[in-house]
Amino acid sequence: MAYRVLGRAGPPQPRRARRLLFAFTLSLSCTYLCYSFLCCCDGLGQSRLLGAPRCLRGPSASGQKLLAKSRPCDPPGPTPSEPSAPSAPAAAAPAPRLSGSNHSGSPKPGTKRLPQALIVGVKKGGTRAVLEFIRVHPDVRALGTEPHFFDRNYGRGLDWYRSLMPRTLETQITLEKTPSYFVTQEAPRRIFNMSRDTKLIVVVRNPVTRAISDYTQTLSKKPDIPTFEGLSFRNRSLGLVDVSWNAIRIGMYALHLESWLRYFPLAQIHFVSGERLITDPAGEMGRIQDFLGIKRFITDKHFYFNKTKGFPCLKKPESTLLPRCLGKSKGRTHVQIDPEVIDQLREFYRPYNIKFYETVGQDFRWE
């Protein structure tokens, strides 16, 4: 029998030679196919047309010499196992919803809620001290600034008001302070329309001392204002007090309280003594915590009396840091007032004070 190899006739080849030739041809074909596949795609089947890097992942022993000049892959992590059969690409997992995310992308805990409690007054009575003291409690989150929503910004709407509030958990109380609410005629109705269950805190102080403190604050900003005596009286010789001056009018607590009692029961209003807040801050804060329905967390260990300022400062019981006192605007030295003027104002406020005591069931001992 004649054999033809590469187009030429030749003598019969031994069986061993035929097998070697067949094996060589098969090996060459396989190597060529492997090389073509590896040059077109990387180990994960990514096309070169998509910009995938030309690299090889573990060439076979038979193709090592042929592919020696190719660049190997350096994967950053373990190589995933190659699927046995092609499958449809998996749908990308939806990004998680981050409600109220901060700039770093991590979610902020809690929800912005309308306040469940308000410090509604009074100006220069000690409202800032109460706010700073109650903020120490882990179950209370309070807005640091005065939003003046129910007196000046009511037209902005409740959504705007809610947006100002700090985020709170379900177990926390949202609180804000604006002392001018107490003397705003529309404030009780507006707060009632927001929530009839709102708890109200009113910090009161001897109205004569409060008026002098109010005047001292105004004088620090407007040095050219008239004297305290000149603003307090329409006719001093006749003892006619000028109730149109806001510093005097605020101290007529019984008059303002009537507007609140039209919408809220007395049990829903808690009155704080500005004087006792100085002499016994833990006692007054204990009663506030009871009113809010929270644990008595703030105690004597949280306070340090600052003799220079004349009122207590906050301290952390477990900290060695100095106590944190209120700002420079608190604890100003009052201007000196003629004692006769003070006596006249005490007589003016006496009937209002007595009516206030009787209404709230407390004697604040301002006489």
334 in a labelled binding site: yes
According to the model, what pLDDT value does residue 311 have?
77
Q: What are phi and psi of 332, to 5 degrees?
A: -65, 150
126 in a labelled binding site: yes
213 in a labelled binding site: yes
According to the model, what pLDDT value does residue 329 have?
54
DSSP letter, residue 142? E
Are 139 and 110 contacting, i.e. CB atoms less than 8 angstroms apart?
no
Percent helix / strand / coil, the chain, rounded to 5: 40, 15, 45
332 in a labelled binding site: yes
271 in a labelled binding site: no
* pLDDT over 90, % of the chain: 61
Q: What's the CA gap between 65 and 59, in Å, rounded?
A: 10
300 in a labelled binding site: no
Runs of H (alpha helix) within the chain: 15-40, 127-134, 158-164, 187-194, 207-221, 228-232, 246-249, 253-261, 274-279, 281-292, 339-360
Lowest mean pLDDT among 32-41, 110-119, 293-302: 32-41
Q: Which residue in the list 65, 69, 124, 309 is annotated as catalytic?
A: 124
302 in a labelled binding site: no
Q: Is pLDDT at 265 greater than 80 in this prediction?
A: yes
Banded pLDDT at 334 (limits 50, 70, 90): confident
125 in a labelled binding site: yes
Q: What is the mean pLDDT of the chain?
A: 79
- Describe the strand order of the beta sheet including 117-121 as a list of residue ranges: 140-142, 173-177, 117-121, 199-204, 269-273
260 in a labelled binding site: no
Is beta strand 167-168 parallel, antiparallel or unpaired with respect to 111-112?
antiparallel
Q: Which CATH class is domain 111-222+246-334?
A: alpha beta
Q: What's the CA gap between 114 and 126, in Å, rounded?
A: 23
Region 51-80: mean pLDDT is 41
According to the model, what pLDDT value does residue 131 have?
97
Locate tokens 């959504």: which residue? 159
| Residue 123: active-site member | no
pTM of the model: 0.69
Q: What is the pLDDT of residues 289-314, one digit of tens each?
A: 999 999 999 999 999 888 777 778 88
Domain segments of the chain: what residues?
A: 111-222+246-334
Q: What's the CA gap between 352 and 286, in Å, rounded?
A: 28
